[in-house]
């Protein structure tokens, strides 16, 4: 569980191996896992809602318009939802949380190194024209935004002045990387919202909203003036919106998403309550655009619409409910850092899911499950020693 903090942002192969080891340990300790999972599902609302969503998708496999192999392959994309209690089972004390988050911070530093070395033209994993870390631009910007948010939370809690300054510098580097180096517009939105929440959660009071607004405005204005990447990506939005035509083939990011959303909404309108079945989206989408020049896709770049198209509006409601109850559950966490970090995860993945099918992707789905399992786990009580003999 600790090592996953390092590997999820870096390597699918390694984190798959670690998950295999974790699941093997869960099988060996099946009785303890079942008992802990039942306790977590009955006492931690996010885990209960995640399980309900997965079970609904499983039921919709049986009535999918897709062949069984495609249906269960799509169901496997959401396996992270039921991994949350298993991941939580490994969190036996506060040291696991602390060390896991430290390794996530290390992973962010490594991603920053790869990204900046590529931007500088140094030999490495990436090239100067696409200076990202170990993952694609959307994933990279989401992870680094969350990393910067974590560094800010650590800086807020730090008692040593030198550590506080170092953590604030790391947070600033993360923000610079998202706004100046990579090109993910989802990252711009998520970073702005995380900065806003950090100020609101840290200052409180009547002036917090004003300070948050001024800070985000200053950061985004500075990025627009100073960053060619940021300015270009923002300036492209109006022209891409004007260029979009319903049913036409569009090569722009904004135009493609609008067309995907429009077609997916038609699928949902035809099957509002139960959808076309888990795994049935690709065939349903292909049927909708048949005879038109519109671009084909296997997901609409929106978590909520993809779930609604496959398993009806109830599935979308369950996903929204998952984020809502996770936000509310965070208030029960004793640590302010953990409470704000869990809400930051909700902001990053919940908002990012409006523009991308994040849960459909390995890294983002596992990252969500890892954070919720890590921060939402109920501590396992230590076994009491058995004392033999008679009472005096």
Q: What share of the chain has pLDDT > 90, as a percent?
A: 68
Cβ within 8 Å of residue 89, ≥6 positions away: 26, 32, 33, 36, 37, 40, 377, 380
Q: How confident is the model at residue 207 (pLDDT cuts 50, 70, 90)?
A: confident
Query: What pTM was estimated for this model as a whole?
Result: 0.91
13 part of a folded domain: yes
**What pLDDT score was predicted for residue 11?**
92
Q: What is the rounded average pLDDT of the residues 139-148? A: 95
The answer to whether the CB of 9 falls within 8 A of the CB of 135 is: yes
- Quick: pLDDT tens for 3-13: 999 999 999 99
**Torsion sign across C-alpha atoms 204, 205, 206, 210:** negative
254 part of a folded domain: no
Integer Cα distance of 11 and 4 in angstroms: 10
**What pLDDT score was predicted for residue 378?**
64
pLDDT tops 80 at residue 117: yes
Q: What is the rounded average pLDDT of the residues 344-367? A: 94
Q: What is the rounded average pLDDT of the residues 37-43? A: 89
Q: What is the dihedral of CA 231, 305, 148, 112, to 10 degrees?
A: -70
**What pLDDT score was predicted for residue 382?**
40
Q: How confident is the model at residue 389 (pLDDT cuts 50, 70, 90)?
A: very low
Q: How confident is the model at residue 237 (pLDDT cuts 50, 70, 90)?
A: confident
Map residue 184 onto helix, strand or coil: coil
Phi, psi (5° rounding) for residue 215?
-65, -50
**What pLDDT score was predicted for residue 308?**
96
Q: Which residue has the higher pLDDT, 203 or 173?
A: 173
CA end-to-end span of the chain: 45
Cβ within 8 Å of residue 109, ≥6 positions away: 170
389 part of a folded domain: no
pLDDT tops 60 at residue 206: yes
58 part of a folded domain: yes
Map residue 120 onto helix, strand or coil: coil
The answer to whether the CB of 299 falls within 8 A of the CB of 257 is: no
The answer to whether the CB of 249 falls within 8 A of the CB of 294 is: yes
The answer to whether the CB of 307 falls within 8 A of the CB of 319 is: yes
pLDDT tops 90 at residue 230: no
The answer to whether the CB of 232 falls within 8 A of the CB of 224 is: no
Element (H, E) at 352: helix 336-352
Integer Cα distance of 142 and 263 in angstroms: 26
- Quick: pLDDT tens for 239-253: 888 888 887 787 788
Domain count, the chain: 1
HSE at residue 100, side-chain half, CA atoms within 13 A, is 23
Q: What is the dihedral of CA 31, 32, 35, 41, to 10 degrees?
A: -120
Q: By residue range, what is the domain housing residue 224?
A: 4-242+293-376
Q: How confident is the model at residue 195 (pLDDT cuts 50, 70, 90)?
A: very high
Q: Which residue has the higher pLDDT, 124 or 60?
A: 60
Which candidate, 322, 317, 316, places its Cα nearest to that of 45?
322
**DSSP class per residue in 297-334:** -SS-S-HHHHHHHHHHHHHHHHHHHHHHHHHHHHTT-S
CA distances (Å), origin 181, targets 86, 105, 140, 191, 233:
37, 19, 11, 14, 12
**Helices 137-157/185-203 angle, 10° precision:** 20
Query: Is 197 exposed, middle or buried, given 0-12, 13-18 or 19+ CB atoms closer than 10 A?
Result: middle
pLDDT tops 80 at residue 375: yes
**What pLDDT score was predicted for residue 281?**
94
**Helices 253-270/303-330 angle, 10° precision:** 90
- Quick: pLDDT tens for 65-101: 899 999 999 999 999 999 999 999 998 888 999 999 9
Neighbours of 335 (CB within 10 A): 15
**What pLDDT score was predicted for residue 205?**
76
193 part of a folded domain: yes
Averaged pLDDT score across all residues of the chain = 90
**What pLDDT score was predicted for residue 194?**
96
**What pLDDT score was predicted for residue 123?**
83
pLDDT tops 60 at residue 371: yes
DSSP state of 79: T
> How distant is the alpha carbon of residue 12 from its chain centre?
15
Q: What is the rounded average pLDDT of the residues 211-215? A: 89
CA distances (Å), origin 379, targets 18, 40, 95, 104, 280:
22, 10, 11, 21, 40
38 part of a folded domain: yes
16 part of a folded domain: yes
**What pLDDT score was predicted for residue 364?**
94
**What pLDDT score was predicted for residue 379?**
46
């Amino acid at each position: 569980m600790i090592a996953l903090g390092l590997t999820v942002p870096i390597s699918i192969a390694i984190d798959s191996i670690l998950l295999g080891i974790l699941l093997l340990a869960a099988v060996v300790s099946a009785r303890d896992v079942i008992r802990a999972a039942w306790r977590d599902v009955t006492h931690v609302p996010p885990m209960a809602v995640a399980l309900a969503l997965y079970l609904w998708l499983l039921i919709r496999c049986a009535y999918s318009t897709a062949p069984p192999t495609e249906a269960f392959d799509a169901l496997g994309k959401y396996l992270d939802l039921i991994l949350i209690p298993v991941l939580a089972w490994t969190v036996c004390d506060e040291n696991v949380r602390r060390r896991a988050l430290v390794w996530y911070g290390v992973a962010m530093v490594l991603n920053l190194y790869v990204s900046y070395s590529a931007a500088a033209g140094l030999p490495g994993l990436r090239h100067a024209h696409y200076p990202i870390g170990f993952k694609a631009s959307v994933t990279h910007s989401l992870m680094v935004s969350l990393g910067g948010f974590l560094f800010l939370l650590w800086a807020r809690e730090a008692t040593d002045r030198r550590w506080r300054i170092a953590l604030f510098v790391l947070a600033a580097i993360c923000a610079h990387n998202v706004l100046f180096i990579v090109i993910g517009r989802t990252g711009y939105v998520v970073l702005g919202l995380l900065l806003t929440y950090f100020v609101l959660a840290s200052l409180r009071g009547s002036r917090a909203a004003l300070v948050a607004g001024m800070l985000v405005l200053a950061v985004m204005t500075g990025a627009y003036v100073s960053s060619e990447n940021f300015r270009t990506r923002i300036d492209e939005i109006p022209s891409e919106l004007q260029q979009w035509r319903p049913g036409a083939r569009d090569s722009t990011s904004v135009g493609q998403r609008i067309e995907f959303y429009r077609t997916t909404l038609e699928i949902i309108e035809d099957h509002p309550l139960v959808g076309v079945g888990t795994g049935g989206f690709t065939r349903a989408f292909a049927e909708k655009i048949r005879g038109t020049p519109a671009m084909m896709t296997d997901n609409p770049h929106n978590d909520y619409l993809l779930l609604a198209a496959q398993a009806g509006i109830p599935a979308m409601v369950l996903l929204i409910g998952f984020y809502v109850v996770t936000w509310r559950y965070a208030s029960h966490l004793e640590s302010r850092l953990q409470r704000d970090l869990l809400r930051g995860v909700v902001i990053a993945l919940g908002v990012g899911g409006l523009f991308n099918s994040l849960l459909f992707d390995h890294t983002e789905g596992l990252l969500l499950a890892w954070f919720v399992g890590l921060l939402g786990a109920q501590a396992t009580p230590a076994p009491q020693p058995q004392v033999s003999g008679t009472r005096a």
